[in-house]
Amino acid sequence: MSQKQWIAGINAVASAVEHDAANVREVLVEAGAKNPRLAEIEAQARRRDIDVRRVAKQAIDGVAGNLRHQGVVARYAAARTWGENELQGLVEGANGRALLLLLDGVQDPHNLGACLRSAAAAGATAVVIPKDKAVQVNATVRKTSAGAADRIPVVSVTNLSRTMRDLQKMGVWLHGLAGEAEAPFYALDLRGNVGLVLGGEGEGLRRLTRENCDSLAAIPMPGAGDGEVESLNVSVTAGVALFEAVRQRQAG
């Protein structure tokens, strides 16, 4: 992520002000806007000693670029970053019920944002992404995540395969999602320390990533037999997989 950036939109700015105020440098609110949520953001920002300016819509358009801003943007210094060395503490802090989402090379910021949103809603412990050949948490990701990027640890790692081996040593079972796998995903036990491993939009799981999974499974798709549906979008797969884990954990 760049050192400074603008984030746009009511949910993204409100979440940044609430969860990471120390990194919000200023908030710009559209002058004359009637949305009561803008007034709430302005009031909360002022309570947290964040500079707030009311400016013309054209000024907000200029800094938001092609992001939909809804009348508010914030200049953001840096998101909370989680180092690889913090992953063990996150797993241990979950007391045997860690739920991790590992994404192998997701390129589309909208997909990553949607994955973060599902992970936060599912109460996941962390999301793990590689530093290379994958999108990082940028302004578009933050916007798409609707604030989830502030609520869930995102750990960017140098070597995903090595991180997977380290997680296995911590007692985390890693289940890869692959459309061609014969094992049905719903037969997996997802109640303990679990990592769900998903591939990117193009090639899916890379070879080394596959080899480091404890199992490979597929989400059953009855409609795929007619040739019209070949695979689910990575963010849809993440949502289905995460909430199957939630269902199992609530049931048992």
Residue 62 sits in the same domain as residue 139: no
Domain's final residue, options 38, 57, 76:
76
Dist CA 157 CA 128 (whole Å): 7
Give the sign of the dihedral formed by CA 146, CA 152, CA 153, CA 155. Answer: negative
Dist CA 185 CA 178 (whole Å): 9
- Residue whose C-alpha is closest to residue 153's, from 79, 233, 234, 96: 79
Residue 122 sits in the same domain as residue 33: no
Dist CA 244 CA 238 (whole Å): 10
Neighbours of 4 (CB within 10 A): 11
Residue 125 sits in the same domain as residue 141: yes
Q: Which residues contact 180 (CB under 8 A, 6 or more apart)?
A: 218
Q: Which two tokens stand for residue 233?
A: 């979008």
Residue 191 sits in the same domain as residue 226: yes
Residue 143 sits in the same domain as residue 234: yes
Residue 147 sits in the same domain as residue 223: yes
Residue 193 sits in the same domain as residue 102: yes
Domain's final residue, options 26, 51, 76:
76
Q: Which domain holds residue 68?
A: 5-76
50 has binding-site annotation: no
Q: What is the pLDDT along the chain (252 residues), one digit of tens a residue?
A: 344 578 899 988 998 898 878 788 899 999 999 899 999 999 999 999 999 999 999 999 998 887 789 999 998 775 566 889 999 999 999 999 999 999 998 999 999 999 999 999 999 999 999 998 888 887 778 778 877 887 899 999 999 999 999 999 999 999 999 988 889 999 999 999 999 999 988 778 999 999 999 999 999 887 665 544 457 889 999 999 999 999 999 986
Residue 164 sits in the same domain as residue 245: yes
129 has binding-site annotation: no
| Number of domains comprising the chain | 2
What DSSP element (H or E) covers 215? Answer: strand 215-217
Give the sign of the dihedral formed by CA 177, CA 183, CA 189, CA 193. Answer: negative
CA 103 to each of CA 145, 163, 248: distance values in angstroms, whole numbers, following the listed order: 15, 12, 22
232 has binding-site annotation: yes
Domain's final residue, options 41, 76, 111:
76
CATH number of 51's domain: 3.30.1330.30
Q: Which two tokens stand for residue 167?
A: 């997680």
Q: Which residue do the tokens 């795929």 mark?
A: 224
